[in-house]
Amino acid sequence: MNILYLCHRFPFPPKRGGKIRPFNMIRHFSERGHQVTVCSLSRSAPEAQEGQGIAAHCERFVMGHVSNPVQVLRMVARLPLLTPSSMGFFYSPELARQVRELLASRRWDLIFVHCSSVAQYVEDVQGIPKILDFGDMDSQKWFEYANYKPFPLSLGYRLEGAKMLRAEKRLARKFDLCTATTRAEWQTLEDYGTGARTDWFPNGVDAGFFCPDGEPYDPELISFIGRMDYYPNQECMARFCAEVWPLLRARRPTLKLVIVGADPSPAMRKLGEIPGVSVTGSVPDVRPYVRRSAVMVAPLAIARGTQNKILEAMAMGVPVVTSTVAAGGVDALAPDHLRVADTPAEIADAVLQLVEHPEAREQLARAGRERVLSHHSWAGSMRRLDGIIDNLLSRRNAAPAGAAIVAGANR
């Protein structure tokens, strides 16, 4: 098949959540013998240069080069409109032109879009099967942000959530099939009542790359991994250091916390002044930090979809203590494969139970990795995606000429 693939972040190198899922799809399609053309945005010269590596995994790629100051102006211009500001942030006239030229240049068997913010480039295309992989339902994320931001910012996030919700419903009706990352996100999409065909397929993890190394861990070290310019991670660590860390240090003064992630804000860097806490900023490889820790903590209050940090830690054989909402995006059971805790006291108890009982830690580490291998492999996820696509195309091919495909949930 000739596949036109659009995504909101350039999918190479796959170093962050918004790039990992599309990269694995693109690689899989190409390995199956499909001709994939990738269309996405680059926001800096280094990102554009790094992105050239996608050439080994697709037939062709095009980039729309944008700069953040201009994209912010595009967001502001949409404030008085019904169009979500997010759509402005991911709009590029250059990319729009390239997509139009590609559509006119050859016959396409499938258009695949990852993330609703770039569906705008092909939403009105007809006559070609189209799939929109929402991944997470972004509108719900904006609504959650509103609960944590002061007025009037909270009002702005609520407005963006409402505009995005309207856009998600409209876009769902314009695509032949819509997918999500988790069963919970799929249920949210279903509850919109759009009549669109929907399904879901999970994120995987490269368990060969994220694996135990056999080296001893530091029983006094706990870790948190994630981009520190991302608000849910910032909120999580600010709250953890204010409410949980004092409880942990009071009961075990030798404990250390390492916060690993790119681009920490000044407020995040300031957490490094707390006794026992260090903030690394960007590092070449997060794996040594996770592997050395007794526990990886991820008690996020804002968490849509799958938290890759949880899967990666479990794959490396490091126990995870997370929140109920973050655990909901992972196909694992508590307390068998990970620990779930929400209040400061519960989180502290869960961490210390693993730190102070090596045998319990070892058992959870083993069970967590086994669960990732059985339920979160990319091979398994891509098999599910293949079935979704084959089902869609067979239904289209079986439909009489000019007949509409009956909408309904594909569960």
pLDDT tens column, 99-155? 999 999 999 999 999 999 999 999 999 999 999 999 999 999 999 999 998 899 899
Q: Which residues of 174-208 are buried (b: 16+ CB within 10 A; e: fewer)?
A: bbbbbbbbbebbbebbbebebebbbbbbbbbbebe
Per-residue model confidence (pLDDT) at position 403:
40
Q: Please state the pTM of the whole predicted model.
A: 0.89
| Residues ≥6 apart with Cβ < 8 Å to 247 | 344, 345, 348
How many CA atoms lie within 13 Å of 387's alpha carbon, on the beta-carbon side?
11
Per-residue model confidence (pLDDT) at position 395:
87
In the block, which residue shows the tokens 């996608």?
A: 54
- Same topology between domain 2-204+378-398 and domain 218-375: yes
Q: Which amino acid, 381?
A: S
Say which CATH architecture domain 2-204+378-398 belongs to: 3-Layer(aba) Sandwich (3.40)
Residue 247 in contact with residue 348, Cβ under 8 Å? Answer: yes
Nearest alpha-carbon partner for 296 in 266, 259, 332:
259
Report the distance separating Cα 354 and Cα 347, nearest Å.
11
In the block, which residue shows the tokens 């995994």?
A: 57
DSSP 304: -
Supply the DSSP string of 261-275, one letter for each residue.
Answer: -SS--HHHHHGGGST
Per-residue model confidence (pLDDT) at position 399:
66
Of 3.40.640.10, 3.40.50.2000, 3.90.180.10, 3.40.50.300, which CATH number belongs to 218-375? 3.40.50.2000
Q: Where are the alpha helices (DSSP H) in 198-286?
A: 231-239, 245-251, 266-270
Task: State both tokens at 330.
Answer: 């992972």
Report the distance separating Cα 406 and Cα 393, nearest Å.
13
**Phi/psi at 195 (5° precision):** 85, 0
- CA–CA–CA angle 297, 253, 289 (5° rounding): 40
Which residues of the chain are under the pLDDT cut of 70? 399-411
Residue 23 in contact with residue 14, Cβ under 8 Å? Answer: yes
Task: State both tokens at 385.
Answer: 């995606």
Residue 160 in contact with residue 84, Cβ under 8 Å? Answer: yes
Task: State both tokens at 170.
Answer: 């409209």
| Residues ≥6 apart with Cβ < 8 Å to 402 | none
Q: How far is CA 288 from CA 12, 157, 198, 264, 297, in A?
A: 22, 37, 39, 19, 16
Per-residue model confidence (pLDDT) at position 402:
44
The domain segmentation of the chain, as residue ranges, is: 2-204+378-398, 218-375
| Residues ≥6 apart with Cβ < 8 Å to 154 | 146, 147
